Amino acid sequence: MVSRIKFFQEAIKNIKTLGTLTPSSRFLSKKMIRKINFAKADVVVELGPGNGAITKYILERLSPNAILICFEINDNFYDQLEAIQHPQLVVVKASAEKIKEELIKLNISKANYIISSLPLTIIPDEISNEILKKTYQVLEHQGTFVQYQYSLTYYKKLKKVFQESISLEFQVLNIPPAFIYRCKKVE
């Protein structure tokens, strides 16, 4: 409950970068990651983790040698994520459009899964295009990008990048209800 209130306070101040007033429900968080094959995931990246609604479920399931790298631009959320102090968690205070450069700094060239709650529809086009382009570049062959959105408006854009390899799910138990896109890199 406390974390929901803190999220709400942050959202009031930064609605243009958060895009919502409440963190993801446990139902949405679990559905986002339910198809991750954790036994085979060495590198998982999370874009826009906020105060860790999805992060905590990823950390619970990571294999012992795997790593979770989170990209968050909000100072307060960054501090809250750093406070988790999990040995397999790396929190990067940088915009998701720097994903490629930041992974190189960490000596990582490819990610198996990229889980995103970025409010793509309110991020300026030139930035969101760059995020999608670099996300695709750093995904391994057969890697998956998972993104939730509150509408279907982004489907066309995702299709341009991932072509036909997109599946769609819906989670009604969230405020607001959300669509989940699973986009596979097949080339």
List residues near ligand SAM by CB under 6 A. Answer: 17-20, 23-24, 47-50, 53-54, 71-74, 77, 95-96, 117-119, 123
* CB-neighbour burial class of residue 65 (10 A; exposed 0-12, middle 13-18, buried 19+): exposed
Q: Helix, strand or coil for residue 45?
A: strand
- Min dist CB 60 to ligand SAM, Å, is 15
Task: Rank residues 75 and 142 by Cβ distance to ligand SAM and give the closer one.
Answer: 75
- Min dist CB 186 to ligand SAM, Å, is 26
Task: Rank residues 36 and 123 by Cβ distance to ligand SAM and give the closer one.
Answer: 123
CA distance 55 to 58: 5
- Min dist CB 101 to ligand SAM, Å, is 13
CA distance 187 to 79: 37
Helix segments in the chain, DSSP class H: 2-13, 15-18, 26-33, 55-61, 75-82, 99-105, 125-138, 155-162
- Min dist CB 164 to ligand SAM, Å, is 27
Phi, psi of 125 (to 5 degrees): -50, -45
Task: Rank residues 43 and 165 by Cβ distance to ligand SAM and give the closer one.
Answer: 43
Task: Rank residues 23 and 143 by Cβ distance to ligand SAM and give the closer one.
Answer: 23
